[in-house]
Structure 1
Amino acid sequence: SVYSCSLFWRATVQSCVSSVVFPVKKIDEFAFSASTFQKCNRKEPDFDECVLTAAQGGLAQLTHPVKEISFSGLEPVEILELKIEAGHQTVAVDQNFKNCKLYGLSKTRLSKFRFDFDRNGVDVAGFIPEIKKVCEYELDGKVLLLPIKGEGTSTVILRDINSTLTTSFEETKKDGETYMKFKNTKFAFDPGFVSFNFENLFNGDKELGDNINKVLNDNWQDVFQDVKSGYEQALSLVAEGIINQFFTKLSAEDVFD
């Protein structure tokens, strides 16, 4: 999805992720409204189960463009710029990506989606069969002590992902209704498999490029572990942007009885 606001949505953090920038895009389609979202009663004993069902259903609806909340759908999520800084052991290279597309988030199978109104927090857990990240990349550094340099198209695929998300929210009143703004979102995940493909390494030297890609894939666990926190922070920003775009337009009264 492209995050659509009047301005570019920019978020920065201090450590592994330098920046994530989402583009502006006009949304012409309409696939969702408050009336199509399952409402849940906070006072009912099955509230948590209802929220989980509603969230899974809402996720399916957000696969498509949503004019009402200026959201162009989860397939794909588009990111203009993404920078993941060098790791501390095997990955001694800053990863600069642009014009990224993330595929697969809409396939998330939620196992928990719990609102805690006493502490203004939300806890989420789920399984994602696959996330595919396709970006233009620029690299110049070392991985596993081997030089890596180039620019072109990159594809990173993560499979069998167990994930959790925690976030907190503040409530504000507007026109007599309550709106929630989410912050401090933390997305954590463990993939069962990761593959890398960087095209046009070393100015298109196929033999060198194939060798480096093979080394990356043969050692994917060590390589990914070193930059995992950067990917987690990037996806935390993506998730927070999606949640806030949803709840900017829909009040608590729209989704809860």
Structure 2
Amino acid sequence: MKLDIISVDTPGNFKISLKNVSIYGLEKLEVTGVKANLTEHVVNMNFSVPSYTLLSKYEMDGRILVLSLKGEGESNITATDVTVEYELKYDLVDKKGEQFVKIADQHVHYEVSRAYFNFTNLFNGDKLLGDSTINLLNDEWKSINDELKEGIEETIKSVSATIVGGIFEKVPYRFAFL
């Protein structure tokens, strides 16, 4: 999957922008559960992915946990054993005599069993400081993930809205949930 940009801002004044993003591993995505309540207009889906790798150009600045991070360059973010719970609430809209699904709200929760980070050119290329920071990020991956979780879930919602919304714009409701 290719995305132009992913941006994550945390309440703690940390910003990271990933550009020209390529995501690998989603071809192994498995739908592990689907539950639909068509009367209430709610669909719940569970997904799992053994691993994904996100390659991009990055720019970051700010504090995460106790770390001050600054840099721009190439990034590689990999996560393993990813599970996602996705809830879609929808409305029905009429277009040309047909009913179509329109996304009203989404909720996302994800978990990973491990995450790995690599960023080139941290701290203007200071190799010693950059390498030790990368090691710390990878040692403290769980805390980093927890700190970024809200922003990552918002990103998943945005990507999901684009994909799911694009499908539902073209497929009438009577064919959407057979």
TM-score, normalised relative to structure 1: 0.64
Partner of 1:192: 113
The offset of 1:211, in angstroms, is: 0.8
Q: Which residue of 2 aligns with 1:64?
A: none
Partners in 1 of 2:65 and 2:106 — Cα distance?
31
**TM-aligned CA deviation for residue 98 of structure 1:** 1.8
How far apart are residue 256 of structure 1 and its match? 4.6
Residues in 1 aligned to 2:177 and 2:129: alpha-carbon distance in whole angstroms: 57
2:148 aligned with 1:227: yes
Distance in 1 separating the partners of 2:142 and 2:177? 42
Structure 1 residue 151, shift from structure 2 partner:
0.4
Amino acid paired to 1:86: T
TM-score by length of 2: 0.91
Counterpart in the other structure of 1:213 = 134
Gap regions ≥5 residues in structure 2: none
Answer yes or no: is the 8 Å Cα contact 1:97–1:138 preserved in 2. Answer: yes
Structure 1 residues 215 and 87, CA gap change in structure 2 (3 angstroms): farther
Matched residue, 2:22: 101
Q: For residue 204 of structure 1, what is the aligned residue in structure 2?
A: 125
Q: Of residues 44, 50, 73 in structure 2, which corresponds to 1:152?
A: 73
Deviations 1:69-100 (CA, angstroms, capped at 9, x unpaired) = xxxxxxx1x22222211354xxx521122222
- 1:169, 1:181 within 8 Å by CA — same for their partners in 2? yes
Larger mean Cα displacement after TM superposition, 104-113 or 209-218:
104-113
- Within a 5 Å distance, the mapping from 1:107-186 to structure 2 comes to 107-186=28-107
DSSP-derived class of the 1:94 partner: strand
> Alpha carbons of 1:180 and 1:101: their partners in 2 closer, same or farther (altered >3 Å)?
same
Contact 1:183 1:240 (C-alpha < 8 Å) held by counterparts = no
**Residue range with higher mean Cα deviation, 183-192 or 210-219:** 183-192
Report Cα offsets for 1:134-181 as digits up to 9, x if no partner: 221112223442332110111111110121000111112223322111
Write the deviation string for residues 86-122 of structure 1: whole angstroms up to 9, x where unpaired.
354xxx5211222222223332211212221111111
Question: In the alignment, is residue 82 of structure 1 matched against residue 6 of structure 2?
Answer: yes
> What is the deviation of 1:255?
3.8
State the superposition RMSD in angstroms: 1.7
Contact in 2 for aligned 1:108/1:126 (Cα 8 Å): yes
Aligned to 1:253: 174
Count how many residue pairs are aligned between Structure 1 and Structure 2: 178
Gaps of at least 5 residues in structure 1 are 1-75
Query: Percent of pairs identical after alignment?
Result: 28
Determine the C-alpha separation between the residues in 2 that align with 1:256 and 1:185: 18
- When Rg is computed on C-alpha atoms for both structures, the one with the higher figure is 1
Q: Is the 8 A contact 2:65 2:147 kept in 1?
A: no
Given that residues 168 and 176 in structure 2 are in contact (C-alpha distance below 8 angstroms), is that contact kept between their aligned partners in structure 1?
no
Helix, strand or coil for the counterpart of 1:196? strand
2:39 partner SS: coil
Letter paired with 1:173: D
In structure 2, distance between residues paired with 1:256 and 1:84: 33
Aligned-partner SS, 1:85:
strand
